[in-house]
Amino acid sequence: MKLEFNNRNTKVQQLTDFIQKSIAARELKVGDKLPSINQLSNRFHLSRDTVFKAFTDLKSRGIVDSIHGKNYHVASHNKNILLLLDEYTPFKEVLYNTLRDRLPSYYDIDLWFHQYNEHLFNQIINNSAGMYNRYLVMNYHNEKFSEELVKIDQKKLLLLDFGKFEKNGYSYVCQDFDTALYNALETIKIRLKKYRKLFFVFNKHHKHPQSSKEYFSKFCIENNLPFDIIDEITERTIILENAFYLVIKQEDLVKIIKKGKSEQLKSGKDYGLLAYNETPFYEVIENGIASIGVNWEKMGTLAADFVVKEDPVKIFLPTEIILRDSF
């Protein structure tokens, strides 16, 4: 492996990354002696202090060790996993915890969030290329494959969640926000017909795939169900009695419950409520909030299997509804 310095990171960080990549690539094995501080200083035209700081960083993470502060050697072959998610939500925590619990202790997970920022996403991918044993990545877009991902070894990359794009032989565990949504609503069609109107609360700023609106509308039209798509719950919103609300953002869910209470209405009794993406607290708030979405624990389990077994996986998780008393 070659080391060419650039201006994106400090020389300490770049040397640290170089040594870590060499270990991950098995160019250096457990017990192998590393070049001395003087040797690396002369080889890369670095100060001895720069090399020492890189060794200190690697030693603090248990990657290298030394005898009396010299004669550094490779201490372990802990496997490093990059988990790049879009943004924090409670159900992403379920994914992370499942992954963490199912991986052996010698796997280290670096968790990052790209916040749907393409520049940040590209920067994280660029900086991490070659540094990890496995990459578990939520793309920043549901319908556009990031070209930056070609910098990652195809066999080491698992695409999560989003996936309405050509995946070119990559492994994936994704969900379908279109037909699967339609089919899930079909399973509760008889219940939905009891409501006078169906609302899809879909905030225009939310990164949930816009195509879900199309398939929600398609379901309602084909079943002769009055419906509307509203942007958000505001102070002026009136919760209609005997109406049904499909809600994406938890913030809007809380607003509906609070406004319903102020109007003496209760979910499940006076109006219907179905939340997108299951979280543990939906089981205990009110008398239980029904949810729709994929099983995030299952996603974490399949991701862990991909990491440990190193077998390719290509699956769209089913969209399911967990029935509770909210409708």
3-class secondary structure, 243 = strand
Q: Which residue has the tokens 């940040």?
A: 120
List the domain boundaries for the chain: 11-74, 79-175+296-317, 179-293
Residue 73 · residue 64 · CB < 8 Å: yes
Q: Which two tokens stand for residue 284?
A: 């205990």
Report field, pTM of the whole predicted structure over 0.85: no
Rounded to 5 degrees, what are φ and ψ at 213?
Answer: -60, -45
Whole-number pLDDT of residue 4: 84
Continuous segment of H or E residues that includes residue 257: helix 250-262
CB atoms within 10 A of CB 125: 23
Q: Give CA torsion, residues 164, 129, 82, 120, to 10 deg.
A: -70
Whole-number pLDDT of residue 1: 63
DSSP assignment letter at 11? H
CATH for the 179-293 domain, from 3.40.50.10320, 3.40.50.880, 3.20.20.70, 3.40.50.2300 = 3.40.50.2300
Distinct helix (H) and strand (E) counts, the chain: 10, 14
CA angle 169, 175, 181 (to 5 degrees): 140
Whole-number pLDDT of residue 27: 83
Task: State whether CATH 1.10.3720.10 applies to domain 79-175+296-317.
Answer: no
Sheet of 272-276: strand order equals 227-230, 197-201, 243-247, 272-276, 290-293, 320-322
| β pairing state of 107-113 and 290-293 | unpaired
Q: Are the folds of 79-175+296-317 and 179-293 the same?
A: yes
Per-residue pLDDT of the chain in tens (327 residues, 90 and over written 9): 678 888 878 999 899 888 888 887 778 888 889 999 999 999 999 999 999 999 998 887 778 888 766 788 888 667 889 999 999 999 999 999 999 999 877 788 999 999 999 999 999 999 898 888 899 999 999 999 999 999 999 999 999 999 999 998 899 999 999 999 999 999 999 999 999 999 999 988 888 999 999 999 999 999 999 999 999 899 899 999 999 999 999 999 999 999 999 999 999 999 999 999 998 889 998 889 999 999 999 999 999 999 988 889 999 999 999 999 998
Sheet of 79-85: strand order equals 107-113, 79-85, 134-138, 157-161, 171-175, 314-317
Q: Which is it for the CA torsion 286, 292, 295, 297, positive or negative? A: negative
At the topology level of CATH, where does 11-74 sit?
Arc Repressor Mutant, subunit A (1.10.10)
Q: Give CA torsion, residues 221, 258, 292, 112, to 10 deg.
A: 120
